[in-house]
Structure 1
């Protein structure tokens, strides 16, 4: 208890942090904290009007800020944008922020994208498609819903981020071997509704457009998770209409 009280009196220097990890949900933020190489104990200076409390630590030699939404706040683009705005205000030397969290993958077996539960999906421009597509911004037309600026309404990732992704793809062709140790580190740790353990491939069921189950062979344990790069969808509304979801996937080549 004494250590915890002392931690609260330590003031962290906002100018020493250059990368923000935005994890809107509690389960996402807890996973982020578990993956830090070192956690910085203390607190950042707070002024009137500051609505968020940030955690911090070290990952890969970089000082990292972990930012999450207040408990009970509705998750959406608006709340995520407000959080990002506060980060820019509080951390003057911030290079960039990465939004990392859970998402619904969009497998497309015909295109060779056998995306599965537990895979890592990275938003990246692909050909003529934007890296981040606002699927609920647009207008209804005679031919259906037309996305604002053909889905290019959101900003692309910073060049430094895309350069880093390119370097990772070059140096880590066997990405599963890189990620497995991190997964094993947190698999049995608790979060609000359970642990981070893999629920098993038997629970990862894929259906085709006719609601017929697609048979897929199990992946070996050492290549359980894969990394996929491509456009990802973003919106304030949860998209549960499978037909509309698949139309957007096929038209804009989205991976999630």
Structure 2
């Protein structure tokens, strides 16, 4: 097997679950055949390729999950890849609908600060007091999202609502690709059921919601995302966390990751964090999050594009195998949106279109 050179990779893409890693791999424009030289104590296998002109390494958690496992993975990434510029944490999460936010399964949620609340809230990080559990600094102990990633996200949020072309072509290209349990297609709005919790009666009931029009099928939500060790499968706990910290979603890896590296957190909604949690929506949600993440990378264009090939450390042979056909990606981004619209909410106009950024070994500019 050819040895890949860790020093040429500048973007880390953490996909904690297998289905999230599969979606990420299918987003690559080309896969880098070979492996990274491991030493005793290296616990992870990394996969690599090219995406939007960058050399990207994709990292998946082992069977365990949570903030501790994510922190260990982030530490090893930071040690193993010396020239990383930033990290994306991309996968699925629980969405937290409210009277203000009609979040639905398959929507994309993006960690972003709102008011005094940071973009990522480590809701397990705190202490018990006489007034209940108090969060330490509302999560401010965590590293913020890398500024150029946040600016790219802001740039996307500032597009007109009908700008589905930003990432739906990426999703459309992989939606029919098979994985172990099916494909990445939308399960359908008729399979999306939300149960509301009534604190007075301690019961749940189905919420009546009209189907969205096809052209408004997917919404993008920007706001604080909660991260902790607990797998939330309780509507009462879910609503308490949502209301206490103004959260739009819950997940289990970001707090651990952002104790080590600055990461942009992008999640597809696959459940509502209650007793009805299941895996039916994970493939579609993972694919939508991956498509949005690729759009973020595409907004950060190097003035001098990163090399499209990765050489062996020994011998200099081309170690790139184009990803095409048979459900292995490719660089055809001409997929039609099929009327599948994208609407974006809850982010102030902070984009800096046209601004040039310098970071790592390259200079970058937005479209």
1:19-40 deviations in Å (ceiling 9; x for gaps)? 1000011010001001111111
Question: Is contact 1:16–1:63 with CA below 8 Å preserved after alignment?
Answer: yes
Q: Secondary structure of 1:115's partner?
A: coil
Q: How far apart are residue 239 of structure 1 and its match?
A: 1.6
> Residue 242 of structure 1: which of 235, 243, 257 is its match?
235
- Say which SS state the counterpart of residue 122 (structure 1) adopts: strand
Q: Pairwise mapping of residues 39-50 of structure 1 onto structure 2 (< 5 A)?
A: 39-50=31-42
Kindly indicate whether residue 186 of structure 2 is the aligned counterpart of residue 194 of structure 1: no
1:213 paired to 2:206: yes
Residue matched to 2:308? none
Partner of 1:153: 141
Q: Give the C-alpha shift of residue 151 in structure 1.
A: 3.4
Question: Is 1:98 aligned to residue 91 of structure 2?
Answer: no
Q: Which has the higher helix share?
A: 1
CA distance in 1, matches of 2:59, 2:207: 38
Residues 192 and 144 (structure 1), Cα distance of their counterparts in 2 relative to 1, 3 Å cut: farther
Q: Which runs of 5+ in 2 are unaligned?
A: 199-203, 250-367
Is residue 174 from structure 1 mapped to residue 162 from structure 2 by the alignment?
yes
1: CA distance, partners of 2:160 / 2:145: 21
Counterpart position of 2:277? none
TM-score, length-normalised on structure 1? 0.89
Residue deviations 1:173-224, cap 9 Å, x none? 4353433222222222222333212111011112333323222221233332
**How far apart in 2 are the matches of 1:46 and 1:100?**
25
Shift of 1:160: 1.7
SS of structure 2 residue aligned to 1:34: helix
Match of 2:19? 27
When structure 1 is superposed on structure 2, of 156-165 and 173-182 the one drifting more is 173-182
Task: Report the Cα offset of residue 101 of structure 1.
Answer: 0.9
Match runs of 1:70-81 below 5 Å: 70=62, 73-81=63-71
Q: Which structure 1 segments of 5+ residues have no match?
A: 1-7
Shift of 1:84: 0.8
Deviation per residue, 1:91-141 (Å, 9 max, x gap)? 111011111111000011x21x11111111111111100111111222233
Match of 2:352 in 1: none
- Indicate the larger mover: 178-187 or 73-82: 178-187
Alpha-carbon distance in 2 for matches of 1:168, 1:46: 38
The corresponding residue for 1:86 is 76
Q: For residues 6 and 164 of structure 2, what CA distance do their matches in structure 1 show?
A: 34
Which piece of structure 1 moves more, 186-195 or 95-104?
Answer: 186-195
Task: After TM superposition, give the deviation of residue 172 of structure 1 in Å.
Answer: 5.7
* Map of 1:125 onto structure 2: 113
Structure 2 residue aligned with 1:4: none
TM-score calculated relative to the size of structure 2: 0.63
Q: Secondary structure at the match of 1:102?
A: strand
Question: Retained in 1: the 8 A contact 2:196–2:235?
Answer: no
Q: Is the 8 A contact 2:118 2:224 kept in 1?
A: yes
2 CA distance for matches of 1:193 and 1:223?
27
RMSD, matched Cα: 1.7
- Determine if contact 1:175/1:227 at 8 Å carries over to the other structure: no
Q: In the alignment, which residue of structure 2 is the partner of 1:64? A: 56
